[in-house]
Amino acid sequence: MPQYKLPTTPKQAWIVDLITCLFILLFTYAAVSKLADVQNFKTQISQSPLLTPFGAIIMWAIPTIEFIIVGLLLFNKTRMTGLYFSYGLMVIFTMYIIAITRFSTFIPCSCGGILQQMTWNQHLFFNLIFVVLGIISVLIYHPRNTAFPS
């Protein structure tokens, strides 16, 4: 199991903590919004040409995954795993937005809360910001090679 290099300066620690808090806020808000209006979320997923076959699974899987990631981010021992999963989930959401806007004529928004008010271009930009934040946090808090002592 890899050991992770903790941020070495107060500035790096502050950056990772800030990014972690942003992911916690984002995923908590998104999951709660979806579950608070689960019927609407289910309807939107069933209207998506890419997600319809998996709608019953996705409507519960996405908020569950978001809550699991929040749980991972809350604890120092699992924070790095949570940051990797945060980055990965944002990449998946971003790829979905690119695919749906390029290849579909009808584009339902299956996001929750105020994110639903964004245009698709705004949503893509928003997601890309979080992808970059995920990359930054992982670069600061990356695995170190334990085979060679430093």
pTM (two decimals): 0.84
Q: How are beta strands 3-4 and 143-144 bridged, if at all?
A: antiparallel
Q: How confident is the model at residue 4 (pLDDT cuts 50, 70, 90)?
A: low
pLDDT of residue 48: 76
Residues ≥6 apart with Cβ < 8 Å to 93 = 127
Q: Maximum distance among all alpha carbons in the chain?
A: 55
> Cβ of 30: how many Cβ atoms within 10 Å?
21
Reading the block at residue 37, the tokens are 């209006």
Q: What are the extents of the domains in the chain?
A: 8-140
Reading the block at residue 120, the tokens are 């698709």
pLDDT of residue 150: 43
Average pLDDT over residues 70-95: 96
